[in-house]
Structure 1
């Protein structure tokens, strides 16, 4: 089972954004030692609890402090940007770190309405243009504009020896169809939706068409996981993440609460229902239980790869979760 890391660079209560970013760098380094295939970092705006507003900047830092793990964005939110600039940025990263760079693209806002306006003006109009934006981006990445196109002679420099591997991230049939139509690999956010993920992924496979780069269809399924030495400990650690998710859905933007804060919190009846629903979409438990659930998800989705996102208040608990899973699956390459 190929395993990778998705990092949202969470800021814990009592910690700073600098602490979170340094913890992200350490996670990438340890993930490399543990044998994880990829390290992707997400993009969020005007969100104090998540530190990375510019994945491409962080990837330069991560790439310079690792040597073999693939690094990428999960995702660059394309409606906010011009495709040419995105292509330039990821060509530069791919030149610095040859054969290691992934360009994950998405179309969610990644922040508040005010942030959307500040970044891209009419965001919804740009979302409607996503298929055209993706097509233009791929032309720049693959240097494949038609001869009569206005950008046919324009290159996104520098040109790397190995192009970044391009992925489309999503949680819907619309994103699956777009990935299939454009010949892109597809990363499905299982942890972000209650939709029928396996049928969406199957839809992607059925309609996939190879593009000019010849990239094959590949599927990553991103899953929220918390693993600990015991089942009880895993659920204890997970409570802070679950409370944070409930608070975030109601506009509370403070950092990830501690386990003690979460245990002291009095959940009302409605919150308890939300809590159980959130918990049912996560993989929580001791290592054997977690591995069994991940294998079941891999089989259900027929996924090429599972990407794990783990949010805990303690950065040590987060790292321990990834270590336990890697050791159980003999990924460890120290």
Structure 2
């Protein structure tokens, strides 16, 4: 099974933003060494929990440090940027690391309404054009004339460079057909809401048209996972992530607490019920247990690749999760 990494540069309690980004480099080097397929950086704005606000910059650094693993964004939030800027950023990355760059985009804001307004410099925002914006950026990356006259008198520099792989992210199925029509990869965020279905993936494959960016349909699915040598250890390390998701449901954004703090954190019956319901979004167990579950889901839903998001409090625990899974699946 192809195995990949999604990193949000989480800032756990007691750590700094700089440490979170420096850890991304360690994680990329480990992924490169162990044979992971790709590593993507997410985009999050205006919060204390994640340091990955400029994934394309981190991607440039990681690409320079690694040798084989594909590096990209999962994703850059295209609502905030011009198609020309997106094209020039990823053409530059692809020129610097030809054959190893992924241009992954999402339609979400990656932040609250204050972030959206600030990134747009206070201008009104209309989200109806995002698929068109993505299509325009793909045309500019490929040195083509666009369907938008605004961009037909400009050239996206650098010119005539290796194409990145292009991917469209989704968490509800709404983007599946569009990804197929545009001939790009489809990345499903199972860890976000757990609504994966074979119908979504069948729709993507049905509508897929080969493109300069991808000859055949490719689907990857992102899971949150906590893996340890024993089930009890995994449960101990997973508790802070379960609590972070609980806080998010309540509209609270907090840094990931230590497992020791999480173990004794007081919960109401309703809190506990929410945690148990959300466990479908978080795979917890030994490497063998989690690997078997991933293999079963791959057979059921027929996706091509698994991407793991592992956000435990300790950086060493996070590295161990990836090491243990790689030993089982790669």
TM-score (norm: length of structure 1): 0.94
Once residues 324 and 282 of structure 1 are traced to their aligned partners in structure 2, the CA distance between those partners, rounded to angstroms, is: 16
**Contact 2:44 2:52 (C-alpha < 8 Å) held by counterparts:** yes
Identify the residue that residue 116 of structure 2 maps to in structure 1. 116
1:322 aligns with 2:315: no
Once residues 123 and 38 of structure 1 are traced to their aligned partners in structure 2, the CA distance between those partners, rounded to angstroms, is: 36
Identify the residue that residue 274 of structure 2 maps to in structure 1. 274
* Helix, strand or coil at the partner of 2:157: coil
* Helix, strand or coil at the partner of 2:31: helix
* Helix, strand or coil at the partner of 1:211: coil
* Helix, strand or coil at the partner of 1:273: helix
Identify the residue that residue 79 of structure 1 maps to in structure 2. 79
Identify the residue that residue 93 of structure 2 maps to in structure 1. 93
* Helix, strand or coil at the partner of 2:49: coil
Identify the residue that residue 312 of structure 1 maps to in structure 2. 312
Cα-Cα RMSD: 1.7
Map 1:253-264; keep pairs closer than 5 Å. 253-264=253-264
**Contact 2:166 2:214 (C-alpha < 8 Å) held by counterparts:** no
Identify the residue that residue 201 of structure 2 maps to in structure 1. 201
**Contact 1:80 1:123 (C-alpha < 8 Å) held by counterparts:** no
| Shift in Å, 1:214 | 5.2
**Contact 2:143 2:159 (C-alpha < 8 Å) held by counterparts:** no
**Contact 2:228 2:321 (C-alpha < 8 Å) held by counterparts:** yes
Q: Residues 196, 94 of structure 1: CA spacing in aligned structure 2 closer, same or farther, 3 A cutoff? A: closer
1:27 aligns with 2:27: yes
Q: Which runs of 5+ in 1 are unaligned?
A: none
Map 1:173-184; keep pairs closer than 5 Å. 173-184=173-184
Once residues 112 and 150 of structure 2 are traced to their aligned partners in structure 1, the CA distance between those partners, rounded to angstroms, is: 35
| Shift in Å, 1:77 | 0.5
Identify the residue that residue 215 of structure 1 maps to in structure 2. 215
Once residues 281 and 147 of structure 1 are traced to their aligned partners in structure 2, the CA distance between those partners, rounded to angstroms, is: 39
* Helix, strand or coil at the partner of 1:239: helix
Identify the residue that residue 140 of structure 2 maps to in structure 1. 140
Once residues 18 and 148 of structure 1 are traced to their aligned partners in structure 2, the CA distance between those partners, rounded to angstroms, is: 40
| Shift in Å, 1:162 | 1.4
* Helix, strand or coil at the partner of 2:114: helix
* Helix, strand or coil at the partner of 1:99: coil
Once residues 265 and 123 of structure 1 are traced to their aligned partners in structure 2, the CA distance between those partners, rounded to angstroms, is: 42
Identify the residue that residue 252 of structure 1 maps to in structure 2. 252
**Contact 2:91 2:161 (C-alpha < 8 Å) held by counterparts:** no
**Contact 1:226 1:284 (C-alpha < 8 Å) held by counterparts:** yes
Q: Residues 123, 212 of structure 1: CA spacing in aligned structure 2 closer, same or farther, 3 A cutoff? A: farther
| Shift in Å, 1:264 | 1.3
| Shift in Å, 1:148 | 9.5
Identify the residue that residue 172 of structure 2 maps to in structure 1. 172
**Contact 2:136 2:146 (C-alpha < 8 Å) held by counterparts:** no
Identify the residue that residue 228 of structure 1 maps to in structure 2. 228
1:66 aligns with 2:69: no
Once residues 81 and 99 of structure 1 are traced to their aligned partners in structure 2, the CA distance between those partners, rounded to angstroms, is: 24
Comparing 188-197 with 132-141, greater Cα deviation is found at 188-197
Identify the residue that residue 287 of structure 2 maps to in structure 1. 287
Q: Residues 66, 148 of structure 1: CA spacing in aligned structure 2 closer, same or farther, 3 A cutoff? A: closer
For this pair of structures, how many residues does the alignment match? 329
Once residues 185 and 135 of structure 2 are traced to their aligned partners in structure 1, the CA distance between those partners, rounded to angstroms, is: 14
Q: Residues 13, 146 of structure 1: CA spacing in aligned structure 2 closer, same or farther, 3 A cutoff? A: closer
Once residues 241 and 200 of structure 1 are traced to their aligned partners in structure 2, the CA distance between those partners, rounded to angstroms, is: 27
**Contact 1:235 1:285 (C-alpha < 8 Å) held by counterparts:** yes
Once residues 71 and 133 of structure 1 are traced to their aligned partners in structure 2, the CA distance between those partners, rounded to angstroms, is: 22
Identify the residue that residue 188 of structure 2 maps to in structure 1. 188
Identify the residue that residue 303 of structure 2 maps to in structure 1. 303
Comparing 191-200 with 14-23, greater Cα deviation is found at 191-200
Once residues 207 and 102 of structure 1 are traced to their aligned partners in structure 2, the CA distance between those partners, rounded to angstroms, is: 21
